[in-house]
Amino acid sequence: MPRDILMQAAMVRLGEVDREINQGYNILRKYHKTVTIFGSARTPESDKYYKQAAELSEKLADLGYAIVSGGGFGIMSAANQGAHTAVQRGAKKAGGESIAFNIKLPHEQQLNPYATESYEFQHFAPRKIVMTLFANAYVYFPGGFGTLDELSEILTLIQTGKTVKAPIILIGTDFWKHFDEFVHETMLAQNTISPDDVKLYTITDDIDEAVRLVEANQTYCDHDIKSAQKAARQQDGGEQPG
């Protein structure tokens, strides 16, 4: 197929990007605190990282954080499952939620059953924008190219000051140690990054430490969650002031 035809088709598809970003934004704006969790879609439920992702999400949702995942299975499902468990116990009153931003793909990506609110994107670009939109923290479990892409995205945004600084937490020392070695021994050694850049992320196996890192982020104001949710509903036209 001629290149110009492919480019024209791409531009037509890009016309949907703004609408998709707005759809995702309208979900996120209802929640006062969010944590986005990334990781492999191929991680089985029996895997230790699946169990850790569910545990972390449950604890954070109990603390009033809305958990955001990519909506599929593996680590994404674990994140939504943990948050869903907390929501069923009443975490929703504190702001806890289980949000899934799924994407339509020919293979491997179906919406997991644990999301309490979801939206299906057609394009990767707006989905990535929404998933990195002013979260209180970004947590990365072991994953593939997609996880590395999303990690590089948020590292770059924070490094360059294009978004608000927030904790970047990499769960799994055995998995991420090779990434950390590359950052220190190759990138830093060859001056392609600055010394402070290696401090942008934390690698840990300790779920409680991850929770502490999330809670330590006081970048955003700590106003009343219910008031924020009520204001969002009013702006949507679903509730009258007063």
CATH top class, domain 8-216 = alpha beta
The C-alpha torsion from 65 through 71 and 77 to 81, rounded to 10°, is 40
Reported as a pLDDT band with limits 50, 70 and 90, residue 109 is low
Q: For 23-75, how does the pLDDT look when each residue is reduced to its tens digit (9 = 90+)? A: 999 999 999 999 999 999 999 999 999 999 999 999 999 999 999 999 999 99
Which residue has better confidence, 93 or 193? 193
Delimit the domains of the chain by residue range. 8-216
pLDDT, tens digit, 9 for 90 and up, residues 81-90: 999 999 999 9
3-state secondary structure of 170: strand
Q: Using the 8-state DSSP alphabet, how is residue 186 labeled?
A: I
What pLDDT, on a 0 to 100 scale, did the predictor assign at position 59?
98
Rounded Cα distance, 78 and 44, in Å: 9
Over range 191-220, report the average pLDDT: 97
Q: What predicted TM-score, i.e. pTM, was given to this entire model? A: 0.88
187, pLDDT greater than 60: yes
Quick one: tokens of 204?
A: 């840990």
Instruction: Give pLDDT, residue 242.
Output: 40
Please, is 145 exposed, middle or buried when counting C-beta atoms within 10 Å of its C-beta (0-12, 13-18, 19+)? Answer: exposed
pLDDT at residue number 69: 97
Confidence band, pLDDT 50/70/90 cuts, at residue 107: low
Cα separation, 41 vs 72, whole angstroms: 6
